[in-house]
A and B are shown apart, each in its own frame.
Chain A
Amino acid sequence: MTGNIWSFVAQGIFATAQLTVFGFALGAALGLPLVVMRTASIGPVRWMARGFIEIVRGVPLVVWLFLIYNGPTQFDPRLGSIFTSGASAIAAIGLVSAAHMAEIYRGSLKAINHSQWEAGAALGMPHIDTATKVIAPQMIRVAVPASAAYAIGLIKDSSLASTIGVFEITYYANTAAGSTSSALPFFIAGAYYIALTIPSAWAARRLDIRLRRKVAR
């Protein structure tokens, strides 16, 4: 029986990985325009981006999940077939990660010496070229450790998707706990999450050390 629960809960591992990867990819991409707005020289654009980031980060992920999954059905019940649980979960995770990633990008932008912008301007490079060809490649490299740490956090945060019925690890654990009326499935789920996060954290640390070796000189 116990062996059964292990393989039963394991059915959710792929969905957990999918939620994490797609949610993070969406957030990493959407974070870029957001950080451009957040650091824009036009005041209102900057304030809008800041307000957006603060609100998105200030509201718990579960609330975003319910809002995106259930919210649209208030206006038209048929919208429920567009906002499926999987799509809603990826959208919600993507939204929240976009706000966090924008802040991570902003932190790494600050770490890049401002004189590089001036050097670009002195060489007569257009501002956009300095941004995309000089600053961005360095920014992404500096952002790697923090982004990796955030992505690893998302593995665990994706467990919230079980509350809107995505068939991931926690969902299967809940189902198994319901039918066996024991807490064992949650131990197993926890073990799977730890088994997913510890190697990822280790890999992230290795990547960070490698990149740092390349940059520091």
Chain B
Amino acid sequence: MNGIWNDFMTHRSELIDGLSVSIRLALLTFALGLPTGLLLAVAGFSRSRAVRIIAIILVEIGRGMPALVMLQLVYYGIPVTLTGFLSAAIALALTTAAYTSEIIRGGLQAVPEAEIEAGQALGLKNVHVMRDIVIPQGLRIAIPPLLSFCIIMFQATSLAFTIAVPELLAHARSIANVNFHYFNVFVIAGLLYAVITVPASLLTDRLEQKMSRHLQMQ
């Protein structure tokens, strides 16, 4: 226990720096991935068959491919040289978009059909029905599962060490490879991830309970 604390105090600045890179990477991933996910979800409702099929194919590829493979593909596969950080954000955003489009689609489908009909009866264009009626309500329904998924993607940023992004796990590995305190250092890294993810998942659970209170019996 003491050894773990000592290792943490010795390397705390590197580890905290790493954690902040992880957090920034996650935020950029969400900023790129969530709007793309919404776009893919809306495309899934398109009246054009071609658009729907393209959306389905993109989503299936994005969900079928491991995030780790996606990272390597973007990093080595894109002919333009990007920094590791940007490649990681793009790769994780693609995975995020594929998964969240399904979550958002579920939310949009949960909006009662009658509301769409009411909008059409009022003479709203389809674009406006989508933008002003379905999306605002559907997204609200999708918020808890989206937050849970964001927590998972925050954990997935740890894979970015494979393309030399200096995030938390990369720092932990380089520290452990020098002082050989593998156990201590990885316990510290794990706890630093948990410090973010555990409270976040507890808050998500609370929010979910609060939002679904009207559905509970008794």
Contacts and interface: CB of A to CB of B under 8 A. Distances in A.
Nearest to A194: B64
Interface string B171-204: 0110010001111101101110110011001100
Given A57-B201, A177-B76, A182-B76, A64 B190 contact: yes
B129 to A, nearest CB: 30
A129 interface: no
A170 B69 contact: yes
Interface of chain B: mostly helix, strand, loop or mixed? helix
Interface in B76-134: 76-77
B100 to A, nearest CB: 15
B72 A67 contact: no
B76 A58 contact: no
A116 B193 CA distance: 41
B173 A187 contact: no
If over half of A's interface residues share one DSSP class (helix, strand or loop), that class is named, otherwise mixed; here it is helix
A71 B201 CA distance: 27
A61 to B, nearest CB: 8
Contacts of B194: 54-55, 58-59
Nearest to A181: B76
Given A159-B66, A186-B73, A187-B73, A67 B60 contact: no
Contacts of A72: 183
B80 to A, nearest CB: 13
B137 interface: no
Interface of A: 54-55, 57-64, 66-67, 70-75, 156-157, 159-160, 162-163, 170, 173-174, 177, 182-183, 186-187, 189-190, 193-194, 197-198
Counting from the closest, the 9 A-B pairs by CB-CB distance are A183-B77, A194-B64, A71-B183, A70-B182, A58-B197, A156-B66, A60-B155, A159-B66, A183-B76
